[in-house]
Amino acid sequence: MTTANILPNQLKIAKELLYDNCGLDFTNLKLNTESLEYEACSFELNNKKIQYRLSKITPRKTGQFVTIWRRNKDGITESFDMSDELDFIIIAVKRENDFGQFIFPKRILAEKGIITRDNKEGKRGIRIYPPWDNVTNKQAEKTQIWQTKYFFIIDDGNATNFDSIRKLLS
């Protein structure tokens, strides 16, 4: 069975339209069967260690929600930590015909309090705001501004900025 046959749906599309077109080497795919609804898995892109998730649209709030936890050695869920072998968390977002990915460096997520750092507990889930969402409160607007710096459109046309993705992942 090839990697393409076991890739979660949105990751398969991203691999074909984004990673392959950027010339990135996609290796070491490991599916997380416990979080299949979020297409949770890990893999490497050019030897950079990636945790991947698909966000979900929620009915009452703007933005999308995604879980980003792991289990510790005792089986308890906890946020990722700066000491984890991890370079990026990639979160795919989809709405009707809109599709893209947030490619967040671990360092940025630690600065934002999402990854545990210096004994300050991170988060097990976050709300994300793709550029197509119209946010309605100041906190969501502030969050959308910093998140958008790491957002990349994925389409089969010319909108994707491959050079920026290569630079970020180098």
Q: Order across the sheet with 26-31: list the strands.
A: 26-31, 41-45, 48-54, 88-95, 98-105, 151-153
Question: Is the pLDDT reported for residue 4 higher than 90?
Answer: no
Residue 131 is predicted with a pLDDT of 95
Phi, psi of 109, deg, nearest 5:
-65, -35
Query: CB of 90 within 8 A of CB of 101?
Result: yes
- Quick: pLDDT tens for 100-155: 999 999 999 999 999 999 989 999 999 999 999 999 899 999 999 999 999 999 88
Give the architecture (CATH level 2) of 3-168.
3-Layer(aba) Sandwich (3.40)
Confidence of residue 1 (pLDDT cuts 50, 70, 90): very low
Report the alpha-carbon distance of residue 82 to residue 45 in Å, rounded. 19
Q: Average pLDDT in the 3-18 region?
A: 83
- Quick: pLDDT tens for 24-83: 999 999 998 888 888 999 999 999 999 999 999 998 899 999 999 898 889 999 999 999
Per-residue CA distances from 152 to 60, 121, 122, 129 (Å) = 25, 28, 24, 13
For residues 47 and 158, the model is more confident at 47
Confidence of residue 6 (pLDDT cuts 50, 70, 90): confident
- Quick: pLDDT tens for 63-73: 999 999 898 88
Residue 59 is predicted with a pLDDT of 86
Question: Is the pLDDT reported for residue 2 higher than 80?
Answer: no
